[in-house]
């Protein structure tokens, strides 16, 4: 399996920026897609951004132009700019290795955006 360790969450004022990091180890050669989900208490989980092994990216419509997902070696990043209170959530990194090998998850990191 893949082990994912997340960091970079915290408290920031609206309009500010944070960068989340997700360091992968283990069976990393098999990773196809990495990305970030987020979930706030009492709210539905939503997929924020993904990046494929080939570098293709996709974003939740509400974060386009503000968030950027990138990858360097064994780490995936989520640069979050122009943060809004509605971005407040626990952010979870994931790594997908296909149907056969499944998906691995990070422990989550809290992002809180104050007004």
Cα–Cα distance measured from residue 115 to residue 104, given in angstroms and rounded to the nearest whole number: 33
**Total Cβ atoms within 10 A of residue 57:** 14
State the pairing for strand pair 57-59/33-39.
unpaired
Q: How far apart are CA 27 and CA 6, in angstroms?
A: 17
pLDDT of residue 27: 84
Tell me what pLDDT residue 96 has.
Answer: 94
Tell me: the pLDDT tens digits for 40-98? Answer: 989 999 999 999 999 999 999 999 999 999 999 889 999 999 999 999 999 999 999 99
Instruction: Output the pLDDT for position 28.
Output: 81
Whether residue 24 contacts residue 34, with contact meaning beta carbons closer than 8 Å, is answered with yes
Model confidence at 29, in pLDDT bands (50, 70, 90)? confident
Lowest-confidence region among 3-7, 29-33, 34-38:
29-33
Instruction: Tell me what pLDDT residue 31 has.
Output: 86
Give the torsion sign (CA, 39, 40, 44, 47). negative
Distances (CA, A) of 89 to 78, 81, 114: 14, 15, 12
Q: What is the pLDDT of residue 6?
A: 97
Instruction: Give the whole-angstrom CA distance, residue 8 versus residue 84.
Output: 17
């Amino acid at each position: 399996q893949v082990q994912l360790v997340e960091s970079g969450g915290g408290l920031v004022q609206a309009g500010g920026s944070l960068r989340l990091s997700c360091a992968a180890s283990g069976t990393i050669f098999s990773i196809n897609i990495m990305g970030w989900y987020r979930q706030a208490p009492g709210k539905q989980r939503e997929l924020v951004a993904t990046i494929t092994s080939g570098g293709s990216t996709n974003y939740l419509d509400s974060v386009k132009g503000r968030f950027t997902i990138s990858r360097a070696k064994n780490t995936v990043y989520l640069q979050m700019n122009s943060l809004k209170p509605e971005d407040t959530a626990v952010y979870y990194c994931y790594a997908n290795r296909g149907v056969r090998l499944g998906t691995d998850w990070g422990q989550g990191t809290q992002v809180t955006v104050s007004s």
